[in-house]
Structure 1
Amino acid sequence: MPSLTKKTWKILNKDLKKPLIERVLEGRKLENISVSLDDLHDPFLLKDCQKAVERIQEAIKKKERVMIYGDYDVDGITSANLLYQVLRSLGAEVSVRLPHRVNDGYGLNEKFIKECQNLKVALIITVDCGVSNKPEIEQANTAGIDVIITDHHSPPPELPNALAILNPKQEDCEYPNKEIVGVGVAFKFAQALFKTFEKPSDEVYQYLDLVALGTVADCAQIVGENRVFVKCGLDRLKNTINPGLRSLMQASKVDTNNLSTYTLGFILSPRLNAAGRLEDPLFAFNLLNGQLQNSAFLDKINVKRQELVRTFLKEAEELLGEVKTSQKILIVGSDQWHVGVIGLIAGRLCEKYNRPAIAITKLGDQYVGSARSIGEFNVIETLRKFDDLFTHYGGHKGAAGFSVPLCNVKNLTQGLEKEAKKALKGVKLTAKIQIDTEILPQEITWENLEALEKLEPFGLGNPQPRFLLRNVKISDLRLLGKEKTHLGFGLDLENQPLRAIAFRFGEHYRKLREHRSLDLVFSLEKNTWKGNTNMQAKIEDIAVKR
């Protein structure tokens, strides 16, 4: 019985004799679901952390000028803002630079090093970048400027000759959390600094809202220490001391009593990211530093970003045509696409077709690509096999970016297709939905919903629990949304009525009208409307009974 999304269903726990919550925990192999700040790791486990702290002490003592260099995405912006505030609070003379996506590209560049030299900067600190910038750091060394790298991207075989490199992915680093993102590394550095300067620990915890934002925005696994970051960060966000975040939540009409990873990932992050995608990331950085008028501007350019993604994604689908099972990687491009949204196009294609996807566009005399991948294909390791073709590249196993001369595009495309065929030979690339357990109608209760909420925050690695309900009869089927792309309907359950919402299932309206008995995959959630809170099923897939 094929599902409407054509995805394969995998049920983690089929033992219906145990209570619902026990089945979920057992299926996920979870024992301890509590979250505590005591679970944070010692920051000095990061290789070179002590050396970096001592260099900051020296810079403050000598009143040297320090420059932070970040990235244009939310992880880079929050990293830079966090470290900027921390260093200022410790008395450092510190400034910030963020690269312009179109004019500067990713990572350190020669122009920035020369600027630092002219400004008599003694110390550069990179956040969310730097580990792939060996030539630029050599240039800084020649100019007599020390460099501390804080980064989380996969290190190249040959590391830059920096004063200190804080990156848990580098060899011989004992830090347990290898999946920490850029703002997480910046926070651990801040923790080490506050400990050394004998500041109260609670003072550094005030920045956890920024850490949560960057962690979710960079699609990190919400497990282990990352789960602590996000859970405690959401708690801080409710009463944040950051006026920019307060302004952004107000402009976005966020209910601070119902904050979640959805708030971070789908409401706040896209607006902050829009600055670096289409304009200048400093608009977002300055908002977090108190320029509150930027909230409305970010909201406006985010709408423009959404329009561009819709248009370019449609073009990408048309260029690809029918995707065949023999295609192990999708590579598509247009000279007309804006470089700021090609990562989103690659991500949507990867998600839809469950295979690596690369979107490419022209930028000056180079072609710029953004890659997104699946678990079975390490995209950064694959790109390293074509090191000599790139002007620049970097990333990690699930996402990467690169610049390549026009003359090398054909060789790169052919090489990537060959590598994907080899790596994914025998791998079924049909998309999968992981279902925690089958659920019985009598188990759909407020008590169980509230118990499930203790598993929050949800996200990658810890998704919202999904359930399978078999042989359901539906009623009051309606098309919803301005474009009639969504569905709403009622579930006819014996114990209580339950409404369901099915986003992007509008095309199946006629089929569902003819078949009222269905198998449904969904998550349970609270839906508050006009002061009334009800339980709701958020549909993720449907199988029609024949």
Structure 2
Amino acid sequence: MKWQVKSKAPRAFFKQFPEFSPLIVQLFYNRGFKTQKQVDEFFNPDFEGDLHDPYLLKDMDLAVKRIVKAIDHQEKILIYGDFDADGVSATTILYKTLESFGLTPEIYIPDREKENHGLNPKSIKVIAKDKINLLITVDCGSKDFEAIDLANSLGIDVVITDHHDTDQKLPQTVALINHKRKDDKYPFKDLAGAGVAYKLALALLLIKGDPDNLKKWLLDITALATVADMEPIIGENRTIVKYGLGVLAQTKWIGLAKLMDVSRINPEIVNHSAKGEAPLTNLDASTLGFALGPRINAAGRMEHANIAFELLTTGNEQKAEKLAQLIDQKNKERQTLTDKVVREVEARIVSQDRIPELIFEGDKDWPVGLIGLIAGKMKDKFNRPAVIYNDQQKIIRASCRSIPQFDLMNMLNQCSRYFDDYGGRDGTGGFTMSRDKIEKVKDICFKLAKKELKKISLNSVLEIDAELSLEEISFKNHDQVSLFEPFGKKNLKPKFLAKSLEIMEARLVGNGQKHLKMELAMFDKYSGKGKNFKAIGFSLVDKVEEVKKGDLVDVVFEMIINQWNGYKELEMKIVDLKLIK
């Protein structure tokens, strides 16, 4: 992996922000901040001021009008969701909102193993038997023309809420709320599906009243979905996540509380809100992205997403505890099976004479619920677009992940005549097709990848924010770096470089002995002063054979705090290391 330290900010830039350390000003420069106003807005999100008016979304007024009519006339409403964490969260948000108005909607979440994302004619026929008057989608529906036409013919009104890309032509619906519409002028274009559902909830609460303060209490679920769906944590999303973490620390949803229990998360409010700012907690985006989100997703991957929906909506403590334990168990099963499939895919790839520009692998034993995860891991490991599929003899179901240099949707569009169904956004996608056409699709995909990527270096690049001296690895800088939280897409946690550290200790720790624990000595090249740092490298088991006590290494790391019994220690979380030979 190639290391690349970002260019240093001009000297004049540092003079603009005298109240911050040079390291923090460098981070401003790396993120494209140019003015004090940008810095102030980034560091001081304002819940009331930052959230845009939901009625700026096109068709919001039409959707609210139809839903209010259904509420007032006690019509039968069905919320049609999706089986990932975003879809389940969006379903939950709208369900709890309608429930607060005295109406209990029906719910339909597709089975990941048997159905695709989005509406399908078969599910519409099932829904029609229940005499549904109004169908509201969340996190899906913008391109489901056939299913929507069928719903219309059966007398079911349809309201779409979604965040996936749309075509120029839109389906015939009562309303289609999606900030990705070509004719939509909503100022922020990176909401999750749950973010759009939350906007609809806010619009309804403005009309029908909000005695339960759902505007606040739904923020934790919205934040969870936003991070789990890997939306950029900037702009409106940053405000949603920052305040959502404050709400999560005091959540009123018993299911979320029990899920935190099984995840060994003990939420605390460090500083309460004094003037409307987000409460400071011991939670961060990794709580959502690496603890809660994967568990919510595991329900749909390993069994059915209805389990996760029931967990998030139940008011029964015993039921919530059982569901949380079940989901935690499913997540452990998911981790074990994922590791197994990853090893199988990697073995196939490295056995080839050369790693191709596109990874395209499948097997009948690779579960549909995991192929998206596997594709993502292959993309990350080999820095190439990846297509991983489940081979069901007659039917192929595939998930795709891509690198920024390759237009995944262009590839899928070029193969669309062979697909029964396909879709995607922002470097992710998938398709379903007859097995007898798989070689034709492979041929198109490989030729396109070879053409598009032949002049592009496919070596992974690790971007580093700055090289640090011994003096700069400090509690003060750590605390100022933490002001950039919550971290996530387009606001990644800063990574730093430290050179010529001596290994004082190196050993493997953790379940399965996968993690590299070290003690590293760093010296100031001018004064000769030194300091030892404890360091942990998660999943860096391969590195232990490369290094030994006494070796000198360069290290890319994140600053972290290890706290126990009231004692705090500044440590390094190792991202990568290289032996100095």
TM bucket (normalised to shorter chain) is over 0.9
Partner of 2:26: 23
Q: Answer yes or no: is 1:541 the counterpart of 2:565.
A: no
Q: 1:167 to 1:122 in 2, by over 3 A?
A: same
| Amino acid corresponding to residue 252 of structure 1 in structure 2 | S
Please give the alpha-carbon distance, in whole angstroms, between the structure 2 residues aligned to 1:151 and 1:209: 19
Please give the alpha-carbon distance, in whole angstroms, between the structure 1 residues aligned to 2:352 and 2:221: 39
- How far did 1:376 drift? 1.8
| Amino acid corresponding to residue 177 of structure 2 in structure 1 | L
Partner of 1:459: 488
| Amino acid corresponding to residue 263 of structure 1 in structure 2 | T
Query: Which residue, out of 238, 256, 266, partners 1:255?
Result: 266
Partner of 2:434: 405
Please give the alpha-carbon distance, in whole angstroms, between the structure 1 residues aligned to 2:530 and 2:347: 47
Q: 1:531 to 1:297 in 2, by over 3 A?
A: farther
Q: Per the alignment, in what secondary structure is the counterpart of residue 6 of structure 2?
A: strand
Please give the alpha-carbon distance, in whole angstroms, between the structure 1 residues aligned to 2:87 and 2:214: 21
Q: Per the alignment, in what secondary structure is the counterpart of residue 58 of structure 2?
A: coil
Please give the alpha-carbon distance, in whole angstroms, between the structure 2 residues aligned to 1:365 and 1:534: 57
Q: 1:360 to 1:52 in 2, by over 3 A?
A: same
Bigger CA drift: 217-226 or 27-36? 27-36
Query: Which residue, out of 407, 412, 425, partners 2:454?
Result: 425
Contact 2:78 2:135 survives alignment (8 Å) = yes
**TM-score scaled by structure 2?**
0.89
Partner of 1:298: 327
Q: Per the alignment, in what secondary structure is the counterpart of residue 399 of structure 2?
A: strand
Bigger CA drift: 98-107 or 524-533? 524-533
Give the alignment's Cα RMSD to 1 decimal: 1.9
Contact 2:507 2:518 survives alignment (8 Å) = yes
Contact 1:71 1:106 survives alignment (8 Å) = yes
Partner of 2:44: 34
| Amino acid corresponding to residue 291 of structure 2 in structure 1 | I
**TM-score scaled by structure 1?**
0.95
- How far did 1:422 drift? 2.6
Contact 1:149 1:166 survives alignment (8 Å) = yes
- The structure, 1 or 2, with the larger RCO (C-alpha pairs under 8 Å, 6+ apart) is 1
Structure 2 residue ranges without an equivalent (≥5): 15-20, 269-281, 523-528
Q: Per the alignment, in what secondary structure is the counterpart of residue 370 of structure 2?
A: helix
Please give the alpha-carbon distance, in whole angstroms, between the structure 1 residues aligned to 2:353 and 2:487: 33
Contact 2:408 2:427 survives alignment (8 Å) = yes
Please give the alpha-carbon distance, in whole angstroms, between the structure 2 residues aligned to 1:418 and 1:284: 41
Contact 2:364 2:391 survives alignment (8 Å) = yes
Contact 2:5 2:466 survives alignment (8 Å) = no
Please give the alpha-carbon distance, in whole angstroms, between the structure 1 residues aligned to 2:165 and 2:3: 31
Instruction: Provide Cα deviations, 1:369-422, integer angstroms capped at 9, x if missing partner.
Output: 001111122322321222211111112131111111011111111111122223
Partner of 2:275: none
Query: Which residue, out of 158, 162, 165, partners 2:173?
Result: 162
Q: What does residue range 255-334 of structure 1 map to in structure 2 within 5 Å? A: 255-257=266-268, 258-290=282-314, 291-292=319-320, 293-322=322-351, 327-334=356-363
Q: 1:501 to 1:404 in 2, by over 3 A?
A: same
Please give the alpha-carbon distance, in whole angstroms, between the structure 2 residues aligned to 1:434 and 1:477: 25
Contact 1:13 1:24 survives alignment (8 Å) = no
Contact 2:393 2:435 survives alignment (8 Å) = no
- How far did 1:323 drift? 6.5
Contact 1:337 1:361 survives alignment (8 Å) = yes
- How far did 1:93 drift? 4.4
| Amino acid corresponding to residue 508 of structure 1 in structure 2 | K
Partner of 1:521: 556
Q: What does residue range 61-140 of structure 1 map to in structure 2 within 5 Å? A: 61-140=72-151
| Amino acid corresponding to residue 193 of structure 2 in structure 1 | G
Instruction: Provide Cα deviations, 1:150-192, integer angstroms capped at 9, x if missing partner.
Output: 1111113432222211111110111122121110110111111
Contact 1:60 1:93 survives alignment (8 Å) = no
Question: What number of residue pairs does the alignment pair up?
Answer: 541
Please give the alpha-carbon distance, in whole angstroms, between the structure 2 residues aligned to 1:511 and 1:321: 20
Please give the alpha-carbon distance, in whole angstroms, between the structure 2 residues aligned to 1:133 and 1:300: 34
Please give the alpha-carbon distance, in whole angstroms, between the structure 1 residues aligned to 2:23 and 2:137: 47
| Amino acid corresponding to residue 127 of structure 1 in structure 2 | V
Query: Which residue, out of 429, 432, 436, partners 2:465?
Result: 436
| Amino acid corresponding to residue 533 of structure 1 in structure 2 | K
- How far did 1:511 drift? 2.6
Contact 2:94 2:198 survives alignment (8 Å) = yes
- How far did 1:475 drift? 1.0
Q: Answer yes or no: is 1:13 the counterpart of 2:8.
A: yes
Structure 1 moving runs of 4+ over 6 Å? 14-18, 323-326
Contact 1:339 1:363 survives alignment (8 Å) = no
Please give the alpha-carbon distance, in whole angstroms, between the structure 2 residues aligned to 1:323 and 1:181: 39
Contact 1:466 1:521 survives alignment (8 Å) = yes
Query: Percent identity of the aligned residues?
Result: 36
- How far did 1:346 drift? 0.3
Please give the alpha-carbon distance, in whole angstroms, between the structure 2 residues aligned to 1:375 and 1:109: 31
Partner of 2:444: 415
Please give the alpha-carbon distance, in whole angstroms, between the structure 2 residues aligned to 1:364 and 1:114: 27
Q: 1:42 to 1:424 in 2, by over 3 A?
A: farther
Contact 1:63 1:93 survives alignment (8 Å) = no
Q: Per the alignment, in what secondary structure is the counterpart of residue 255 of structure 1?
A: coil
- How far did 1:221 drift? 1.1
Contact 1:40 1:225 survives alignment (8 Å) = yes
Partner of 1:188: 199
Instruction: Provide Cα deviations, 1:253-296, integer angstroms capped at 9, x if missing partner.
Output: 11213211111111111111111001011111001112312011
Please give the alpha-carbon distance, in whole angstroms, between the structure 2 residues aligned to 1:373 and 1:200: 45
- How far did 1:462 drift? 0.8
Instruction: Provide Cα deviations, 1:45-72, integer angstroms capped at 9, x if missing partner.
Output: 1111111111111111221111000011
Partner of 1:3: none
- How far did 1:24 drift? 1.4
Partner of 1:483: 512
Query: Which residue, out of 536, 548, 559, partners 1:501?
Result: 536
Q: 1:446 to 1:324 in 2, by over 3 A?
A: farther
| Amino acid corresponding to residue 432 of structure 1 in structure 2 | V
Please give the alpha-carbon distance, in whole angstroms, between the structure 2 residues aligned to 1:495 and 1:164: 65
Contact 1:278 1:340 survives alignment (8 Å) = yes
Partner of 1:372: 401
Partner of 2:380: 351
Please give the alpha-carbon distance, in whole angstroms, between the structure 1 residues aligned to 2:266 and 2:517: 23
Instruction: Provide Cα deviations, 1:487-511, integer angstroms capped at 9, x if missing partner.
Output: 2222223364321111222222243
Contact 1:70 1:99 survives alignment (8 Å) = yes
| Amino acid corresponding to residue 403 of structure 2 in structure 1 | I
Query: Which residue, out of 416, 419, 423, partners 1:387?
Result: 416
Instruction: Provide Cα deviations, 1:18-66, integer angstroms capped at 9, x if missing partner.
Output: 7211111122223322222121111111111111111111111221111
Partner of 2:526: none
Q: Per the alignment, in what secondary structure is the counterpart of residue 465 of structure 2?
A: strand
Query: Which residue, out of 153, 176, 194, partners 2:187?
Result: 176
Contact 2:141 2:161 survives alignment (8 Å) = yes
Please give the alpha-carbon distance, in whole angstroms, between the structure 1 residues aligned to 2:580 and 2:408: 39
Please give the alpha-carbon distance, in whole angstroms, between the structure 2 residues aligned to 1:389 and 1:527: 53
| Amino acid corresponding to residue 378 of structure 2 in structure 1 | L
| Amino acid corresponding to residue 259 of structure 2 in structure 1 | L
Q: Per the alignment, in what secondary structure is the counterpart of residue 483 of structure 1?
A: coil
Q: 1:34 to 1:84 in 2, by over 3 A?
A: same
Contact 1:124 1:146 survives alignment (8 Å) = yes
